[in-house]
Amino acid sequence: MREGAVRHGHSPAWNFVVNAPPAPFSLADAIDAVLPQTQCGKCGYAGCRPYAEAIAAGAADINQCPPAGEEGLSAIAAVLGVPPKALDPRFGSSKTAAVALIEEEKCIGCTLCIQACPVDAIVGAAKLMHTVMTSICTGCELCIPPCPVDCIRMEAVATPGRVARYAAASAARSRFEARNRRVERAREEAALSLAAARVASAENKKKQTIARALERARLRLTNRKS
Ligand code: SF4
Ligand code: SF4
Ligand code: SF4
């Protein structure tokens, strides 16, 4: 299906995106609207939006998202107007809904899980116990590998209904985008600080060079007079 035509589609999958954002609505927007927004990266991209853009650009196949399940994979295919494909097992397998839980007595407060969480679902501070806000956890599992004391585990939860799933996906998308903006701002601020420090260091070196040159000139003058 060509870009622009997606807004007028009548496929069953369209029910899934009934509350999708208003125009302008690109093909990548339409694909992103049916992705689970787990932001787990299992598709090989750094989140659902990059994967949606890759599909829209013809750079990725439509069956790389394990959390989408059969229904989600069919929805992607329907948006594109092509036959659905079974999940490519190289990208993982579909799992039941789950959220992360931290065994708080074991947590050493290293903050690595906070840094890994794409939707800011973990609260805590350095050297203090951390907790998962399970209501906004997408179950992406990205916090598990960085934990140095293996105190995070996944716990199965009831699979929410379609409306609740869509609402949760929209909220996760917003949190992911907000986090990315914050990370980008922090990166820019760090780059500016580094540039300012380099300028200050260069100016300092210049001042020292001038001071040394002046001192040499003063010494030469003194020697001539004596
Ligand atoms: S849910 Fe995970 S695998 Fe699926 S598109 Fe989003 S980031 Fe990729
Ligand atoms: S708490 Fe863990 S599993 Fe839940 S969203 Fe954050 S990184 Fe993913
Ligand atoms: S990564 Fe593990 S030990 Fe570190 S703060 Fe998170 S839960 Fe605690």
Q: Does the beta carbon of 124 sit less than 6 angstroms from any atom of ligand 1?
A: no
Burial of 122 (0-12, 13-18, 19+ CB in 10 A): buried
Q: What angle do CA 113, 118, 122 make, to 5 degrees?
A: 45
Q: How far is CA 105 from the centre of its chain?
A: 28
- Range of lowest pLDDT (19-23, 98-102, 219-223): 19-23
Query: In 3-state terms, what secondary structure has residue 141?
Result: coil
Nearest CA to ligand 3 atom 6: 113
Q: Is the pLDDT higher at 113 or at 7?
A: 113
Q: Which residues face 210 on adjacent strands?
A: none
Q: How remote is the CA of residue 143 from the centroid of ligand 2, in Å? A: 6
- Lookup result for tokens 């899934």: 16
Per-residue CA distances from 102 to 66, 128, 132, 133, 144 (Å): 24, 13, 7, 10, 10
Q: What confidence tier does 15 reach under pLDDT thresholds 50, 70, 90?
A: very low
Query: In 3-state terms, what secondary structure has residue 77?
Result: helix
Nearest CA to ligand 3 atom 2: 147
Q: How remote is the CA of residue 193 from the centroid of ligand 3, in Å? A: 29
pLDDT score recorded for residue 23: 59
Contact at 8 Å (CB) between 41 and 47?
A: yes
Q: How remote is the CA of residue 14 from the centroid of ligand 1, in Å? A: 19
Q: How remote is the CA of residue 152 from the centroid of ligand 2, in Å? A: 10
Single pTM value for the model: 0.78
Q: Phi, psi at residue 179, to the nearest 5°?
A: -65, -45
- Range of lowest pLDDT (52-56, 73-77, 208-212): 208-212
Alpha carbon distance 39, 48 (integer Å): 6
Q: How remote is the CA of residue 146 from the centroid of ligand 3, in Å? A: 8
Q: Which ligand is nearest to the CA of 129?
A: 3
Token pair listed for 64: 């790389």
Nearest CA to ligand 3 atom 8: 107
Q: Of the candidates 36, 38, 45, which has an alpha carbon nearest to the alpha carbon of residue 17? A: 36
Q: Does the beta carbon of 35 sit less than 6 angstroms from any atom of ligand 1?
A: yes
